[in-house]
Structure 1
């Protein structure tokens, strides 16, 4: 079902729309155009541990007074559940990346993307440079020294050449991409747990579903 699906009713009881945390984030930031606000509370410093759910609850209370205005969504109304989700993302603790991770989570959700963990990337040994001509491709070699050799009864100096190689993609690049994915995944887990435990959403029900923790290990 689309994240824009309507809330239904059964027997007069409102049925919450069930969304995994990634879908809920995409609904909030991409569909509802919620904005990520990162104000610093007076009692929290830059070296603190994020805003925590207490601050999110304060944001929630404030939202209850001004949700009719649609304060962020130009020409429309931003659903208050989307504002709550955005406020929760803003509360990511420093141990999970803090403000920088909050911005990354919001940007990816707004674009409907998952972090690029370089699917299928395998580091391979390849020549540093390739020379192309009509006969095909040839690895470029460089002089690494000279040797004296006896050739047709005469001693001659000859070049010793070698082909410089490298590994592409760099193993460190692959590792960094997958660390970045796992950091994002952990941040989503924190947001999911906070939304479920906080019980602040009125029409959206966040489920325990999560993206794969390490998709590169799946067969």
Structure 2
């Protein structure tokens, strides 16, 4: 899907391009090369990082909905809407991950990627270690105890062996990947709502479309 192109005009009326929030982010950061201008670190006595949506909207209103991002793109032009999108992402509140989430959202958009939620991942029980030789591979065993057994009329002490196993990928890895996807999804929802409420986009219109909130759950 291409996000480039001119805005069409019909009878002098501006026709806005309608994009979902993920497509709009990719257009801003990947095509228009918008830069994420994060706020300066606060004093130790001040709280948190995030501006909150209200601050972002008031700040944009004070600027007349025009963001100057030329300092990062000498000799080139970044679309005004792309700068507005970048400014919105930069205002990510602490409750959604703050500066770290803002950077992640921008980096993924710039790369045209969706967070890896480990599709199709199913934990498999495998040996912790295997030994390979000319006869193939064999799971490594360890002594976990001893037992007395009667063999050929005599009592003998034998080692009790066990094969240490683990799960690959580990269930916690899968859970963490999908939790990170869900956090990203919530951040995109905040960006979408902020852009819609702000009403500062000149040539774009945000559609309600969102990526699936839980793509690992099969549709019934």
Q: After TM superposition, is the score higher than 0.5?
A: yes
SS of 1:214 mapped into structure 2: coil
- CA distance in 2 between counterparts of 1:98 and 1:144 reads 49
Structure 1 residue 169: deviation in Å?
A: 0.7
Contact 2:67 2:80 in 1 (8 A): no
Q: Structure 1: any 5+ residue segments left out of the alignment? A: none
What is aligned with 1:4? 4
Verify: 1:58 aligned to 2:59, yes or no: yes
Distance of aligned partners of 1:21 and 1:180 in 2 relative to their CA distance in 1, 3 Å threshold: same
Provide, for residues 104-128 of structure 1, a one-character-per-residue CA deviation record: whole Å limited to 9, x for no partner.
Answer: 1011111111111001101121111
Q: Residues 1-219 of structure 1: matches in 2 within 5 Å?
A: 1-40=1-40, 45-47=46-48, 50-59=51-60, 61-62=62-63, 67=68, 70-219=70-219
Contact 1:71 1:77 in 2 (8 A): no
SS of 1:71 mapped into structure 2: helix
Normalised TM-score (structure 1): 0.90
Runs of 4+ in 1 over 4 A off after TM superposition: 40-44, 63-67
Structure 1 residue 56: deviation in Å?
A: 4.3
- CA distance in 2 between counterparts of 1:76 and 1:41 reads 29
Structure 1 residue 52: deviation in Å?
A: 2.3
Structure 1 residue 75: deviation in Å?
A: 3.3
Contact 1:38 1:90 in 2 (8 A): yes
Number of residue-to-residue matches in the alignment: 218
Provide, for residues 57-111 of structure 1, a one-character-per-residue CA deviation record: whole Å limited to 9, x for no partner.
Answer: 42465486774x7332243111111110011011111111111111110111111
Contact 2:7 2:16 in 1 (8 A): yes
Distance of aligned partners of 1:11 and 1:218 in 2 relative to their CA distance in 1, 3 Å threshold: farther
Distance of aligned partners of 1:66 and 1:36 in 2 relative to their CA distance in 1, 3 Å threshold: closer
SS of 1:121 mapped into structure 2: coil
- CA distance in 1 between counterparts of 2:130 and 2:177 reads 27
Q: Structure 2: any 5+ residue segments left out of the alignment? A: none
Distance of aligned partners of 1:23 and 1:60 in 2 relative to their CA distance in 1, 3 Å threshold: farther
SS of 1:216 mapped into structure 2: coil
